[in-house]
A = this chain, B = another copy of it.
Amino acid sequence: MKRKITLKQIAKELDVSISTVSKALRNSIEISEDTRQKVQAFAKLYNYRPNNIALSLKNRKTKTIGIIIPEIVHHFFSKVITGIELVANKRGYNVIVGLSNESFDKEVINMQMLANGSIDGFILSIAKETLQQQDYHHFIETINQGMPIVMFDRVVKEIPCDKVIVDDVDGAKKAVEKLIENGCKNIAIITTKDYVSVGKLRTQGYLEALDDHKIHPKSSLILKIEDKLLSDDHLDELEKDIEQLFKSNKQIDGIFAVNELYAVTAIKVARKLGLKIPESLQVVSFTDGVLSKHSTPSLTTMSQHGQNIGEKAADLLINRLELEETDEEEEETYETIVIETELIERESTK
């Protein structure tokens, strides 16, 4: 109904110029105490707020940052967003979210939509499809156009940008070591196919842990799941695969699962087969989400500190944005922050 009030309207109403109004509101000494008060009172009365879009256009920056993530219904990504939003707001930025839904095309489209002036920079985690196709031209292009990117979790080394990652290898290693310490002799891993970088890295950590303890890895103990979005119909298949794993390897006494879902499913299957947890089978998971915390038994897991990752990423991006502002042509040097993982012990281990 009543459109938002503008400087022009205030100016007309008070019979002064637009510039006077603007200056009065910003407490410029150019304006007399008298008119300043008059203008400010009027502005307050009509609840004037400067139009963001106009400011963005003028300042050539929007004070908003774009987030592109594969999906939002996912504890880890939500946590990261929480972290980003927290520091973004604190530093006067807004956050605009795009979902790639793990699709290359949607990732590209979304980035294009946002890159046309809507945002000052990106924080993103790469879609699986993109990772598979290894087509990163859209990232390169936006960077070349002067728009900084910060990648987190799923990153690719070659792209010149800041990154925030978790030390997946180390985390996995620590997780497996926990099982070894606890006396497990036959530790299986449930992981993803290798094109999912985090899966690959965690598998690597598993192998390193075994190696460090002179345990010979057995390929029959390594179950690589084709993770097609973890759809519901896929769940049965997952259960079958895990059941097969147990049945053909009766000696398994420890499981390292690269995510919560694999872990709870493993526990479910193990129980069905009569295994007691943690007495005869111990399980360690990765990613500290609701399932780990609230399922029974609760899961011992490696926390990735998602919120922390988000906070770091946002700081990195905003720092760069505000640095650009002052010091134009500075040598480009990018940072990679590694967030420590942390073992959270719960009921699924002794």
Docked CA distance A144–B53 (Å): 20
Nearest CB in chain B: distance from A50 CB, A: 7
* Contacting pair A97 B81 (CB below 8 A): yes
Stoichiometry (number of copies) = 2
Docked CA distance A73–B307 (Å): 10
Q: Which residues of B contact A112 (CB under 8 A)?
A: 49
* Contacting pair B99 A96 (CB below 8 A): no
Docked CA distance A64–B53 (Å): 12
A53-B56 CB under 8 A given contacts A71-B82, A118-B94, A261-B294: yes
Q: Which residues of A178-208 have CB atoms within 8 Å of chain B's CB atoms?
A: none
Nearest CB in chain B: distance from A222 CB, A: 23
Docked CA distance A145–B72 (Å): 31
Total interface residues on A, CB under 8 Å, equals: 57
- Let me know if A32 is at the binding interface, CB within 8 A: no
* Contacting pair B85 A52 (CB below 8 A): no
Docked CA distance A64–B94 (Å): 13
- Let me know if A54 is at the binding interface, CB within 8 A: yes
Docked CA distance A295–B145 (Å): 47
Residue-wise, chain A 136-162 has the 8 Å CB interface mask toward B (1 for contact) of 000001001110000000000000000
* Contacting pair B82 A294 (CB below 8 A): no
Nearest CB in chain B: distance from A289 CB, A: 8
Give A113's nearest chain B residue, CB to CB: B94
Docked CA distance A118–B95 (Å): 11
Q: Which residues of A34-63 have CB atoms within 8 Å of chain B's CB atoms?
A: 47, 49-54, 56-57, 62
- Let me know if A20 is at the binding interface, CB within 8 A: no
Q: Which residues of B contact A81 (CB under 8 A)?
A: 72, 97
* Contacting pair A52 B118 (CB below 8 A): yes
* Contacting pair B82 A78 (CB below 8 A): no
- Let me know if A291 is at the binding interface, CB within 8 A: yes
A residues whose Cβ falls under 8 Å from a Cβ of B:
1-4, 47, 49-54, 56-57, 62, 64, 71-75, 78-79, 81-82, 85, 89, 94-99, 109-110, 112-118, 141, 144-146, 261, 264-265, 267-268, 271, 289-291, 294-296
18 contacts between A and B (CB under 8 A): A2-B145, A4-B145, A53-B56, A53-B57, A53-B62, A71-B82, A73-B75, A73-B82, A94-B114, A95-B97, A95-B98, A97-B97, A265-B294, A289-B290, A290-B290, A291-B295, A294-B295, A295-B295
